[in-house]
Amino acid sequence: MSGTVQVLIIRTAGTNCDRETQSAFELAGARVAVRHVNELTGARRVFDDVQIIALPGGFTYGDDIAAGKILANELRMRLQEPLRRFLERNGLIIGICNGFQALVKMGMLPGNADWTQEVTLAGNDSGLFEARWVYLRRFPGARCVWTRGIENLLYLPVAHGEGKFIARNPQCIQRLAGAGQLVLRYCTRAGEVTGYPGNPNGSQEHVAGICDETGRVFGLMPHPERFVLTTQHPHWTRLNGRRPADGLAVFQAGVQYVRQS
């Protein structure tokens, strides 16, 4: 398609990364609207005017019950029909940290016909809120459109208490791997799989992000919106501008996909 790519960022009580996500999409060349979820139930046609939907990070509804669970129920019960229609016309969705938790707990990720939940994001093995920078690499064969063209390791921050990826059973993990739905995994600076602290939560198969079968719905625990400028790197003064802003590549890939569709 040609013209400006329109992005809708959905926020609610406790969302706290919406403005950073807006800035990231704008740097990638998109036009962005930030709307409270309550506004959308009475204006469902708004989904027809956008090509990308983003669920940003934060602590929606205080993470009561479980991280992202209340927002997940709200989206599933109140907005399922317009969201399904949005996906049917090849829309893109990204959920970051709390947004990823919501997508998983509403069943949109990894995705099935009934949106039945098959995986979860549970409490970190350490029992701590983990906030640090981590290295990530793509799983071989990952079909996610949000990571197209990204061949190098990514270096991004995490900040979560419930980021441990767990599948219902080993067959689920095998199915996701075979379908190219495992997208990002925690690793060392050398690209090797790693345990704690490089894997900050104990995720199965070191999973940091997954997508649906189409590759258009993407969820990840690290925060790409927090590294879209070189000066956001923790050692930027030593790099003399040589380090690209890894997180920006994710938003650029999404916007570029829409432009080429």
Tell me the pLDDT tens digit for each residue of 9-33: 999 999 999 999 999 999 999 999 9
- How many alpha carbons lie under 13 Å from residue 256 in its C-beta half-sphere? 14
Q: How far is CA 180 from the centre of its chain?
A: 16
Q: Which two tokens stand for residue 51?
A: 């090509």
Average pLDDT over residues 139-161: 96
φ and ψ at residue 247, rounded to 5 degrees? -65, -30
Active site residue 213: no
Mean pLDDT of the chain: 95
Active site residue 187: no
Q: Is the bond preceding residue 110 a cis peptide, omega within 30 degrees?
A: yes
Per-residue burial over 40-55, b if 16 or more Cβ lie within 10 Å, else e, is beeeeeebeebbbbbb
Active site residue 17: no
Query: Measuring CA to CA, which residue among 7, 57, 76, 11 is closest to residue 37?
Result: 11
Span 187-236, pLDDT tens digits: 999 999 999 999 999 999 999 999 999 999 999 999 999 999 999 999 99
Catalytic residue chosen out of the listed positions 17, 20, 97, 144 = 97
Residue percentage of the chain with pLDDT more than 70 = 98
Q: What was the pLDDT predicted at 14?
A: 98
Residue 46, pLDDT above cutoff 90: no
Query: Which ranges constitute the DSSP H helices of 92-213?
Result: 98-105, 170-178
pTM to 2 decimal places: 0.96
Annotated domain spans of the chain: 6-260
Q: Tell me the Ramachandran region of residue 205: left when phi exceeds 0, alpha when psi lies from -120 to 50, beta otherwise.
A: left
Query: What CATH superfamily is the domain 6-260?
Result: Class I glutamine amidotransferase (GATase) domain (3.40.50.880)
